[in-house]
Amino acid sequence: MFSGVKPSGNPHVGNFFGAFTRWAELQQPGHFYCVVDLHAMTVPHDPAELREQTVDLASWLLASGLDPDTVTLFVQSQVREHSELAWILDCVATMGELQRMVQFKEKAAGQRDSVSVGLFNYPVLQAADIILYQADEVPVGEDQRQHIELSRDIAHRFNHRFGDTFRLPTATLPTSGARVMDLQHPDQKMSKSEESPQGTIDLADDADTTRKKLMRAVTDSGSEIRASADKPGIGNLLELLSAATGRTIPELEDEFAGKGYGDFKKAVAEAVIERLAPVRARYAELRADPAAVHAELGKGADRAREIAAATMADVREKVGLFGAERVRGAADPAEASPA
């Protein structure tokens, strides 16, 4: 299993319930979780801020329950094989299939001539991230399903052209907490707090700020507390409460039948605050000791690099790169040393 998260903006409860907690629940040896800092470079960025956000995000992942002794947690740019494989896959992917990617169309709308090649090429690097570790399962949100299907197509094409090399990845979608929506615009996915400060609950928000944002969350006409297409605000809050408590939405609908929106919002706020309290406390401990976080990321990169190097040795030989056969044989000191 492989999954990654981009260090841009502040992590929020949508990231936490939709990805971080899911990864922690699924974790086992052989799983790879990556802070994909190279992907954060597809738009203009501040170098110092990128470095800081990379460590910050890794701290949130650890605080959310990822165990670096069980899984491999690392930073993408620390394993250079990601970039090398991406170039090789560029020579397998086609312009047409990249132009069909919905996310690129949305992000490039109205500025196609000025967006970076990196943004266009983003899905190929993503494919390299995944198949480099022979991942057959990729937990993602619905908005990433198309990219995983492309990764599968590229891997299949490479295997057909050069011989069996990569496993074909499959997207696995979460069942709850998967798509936490903006508190002020429940028809939109929760996003960076700078884009919607009152609609987003940052993981770094304190309890009082969290409570205020939830109490001000948009609701719907009528007074019934139920999940339905015509009640997106209440449905979103039910989704949050379900994710925070582990209870099903039908159970929550029964509990709050006949109760008002005010009491319901208070219950959501307290449940979210209680769920996040130990995570926020652990995060504070980790940020007070950045050297420990760096050390864990270093160990993860070493483990990832070992797997990636073996994959790339096979890839280099199969595509016919000069000296690849000698690189594969370099494990034997007698062969690697000059006569």
299 is in an annotated binding site: no
The backbone torsions φ and ψ at residue 4, rounded to the nearest 5 degrees and listed phi first, read -140, 160
CA gap 201, 273 in Å, rounded: 11
8 is in an annotated binding site: yes
Hey, what amino acid is at 240? L
Confirm or deny that 193 is annotated as ligand binding.
yes
Distances (CA, A) of 141 to 36, 123, 247, 271: 16, 15, 21, 23
User: Is 107 known to be catalytic?
Assistant: yes
Question: Catalytic: which of 105, 189, 259, 299?
Answer: 189
Check the annotation: does 9 bind a ligand.
no
231 is in an annotated binding site: no
> Which sign, positive or negative, has the C-alpha torsion 282, 283, 289, 294?
positive
What tokens were used for 242?
């379900």
- The verdict on whether residue 212 carries a ligand-binding annotation is no
Please say if 105 is a catalytic residue: no
What are the distances in angstroms from CA 82 to CA 10, 48, 86, 147, 328?
Answer: 25, 22, 6, 16, 18
Taking a C-beta distance cutoff of 8 angstroms, is the pair 38, 7 a contact?
no
* Nearest CA among 205, 217, 181, 218 for reference residue 276: 205
**CB under 8 Å to 277, separation ≥6 — which residues?**
207
Q: Is residue 6 a known part of a binding site?
A: yes
Q: Would the annotation count 192 as a binding residue? A: yes
105 is in an annotated binding site: no
Q: Please tell me which residue in 105, 192, 213, 299 is annotated as part of the active site.
A: 192
What whole-number distance in Å separates Cα of residue 4 and Cα of residue 140?
Answer: 9
- Cα 172 to Cα 148: distance, rounded to the nearest angstrom: 10
Choosing from 105, 107, 213, 231, which is the catalytic residue? 107
CA distance 149 to 173: 13
The reply, when asked if residue 318 is annotated as ligand binding, is no
Element (DSSP H or E) covering residue 35: strand 32-35
Does 182 carry a binding-site annotation? no
191 is annotated as contributing to ligand binding: yes
Q: Is 181 annotated as a binding residue?
A: no
107: buried, middle or exposed (CB in 10 Å: 19+, 13-18, 0-12)?
Answer: middle
Residue with tokens 């198949």: 131
Question: What residues form the annotated binding site for L-tryptophan?
Answer: 129
Report the catalytic residues. Answer: 107, 189, 192
Question: What residues form the annotated binding site?
Answer: 6-8, 14-15, 129, 141-143, 180, 189-193
Question: What residues form the annotated binding site for ATP?
Answer: 6-8, 14-15, 141-143, 180, 189-193
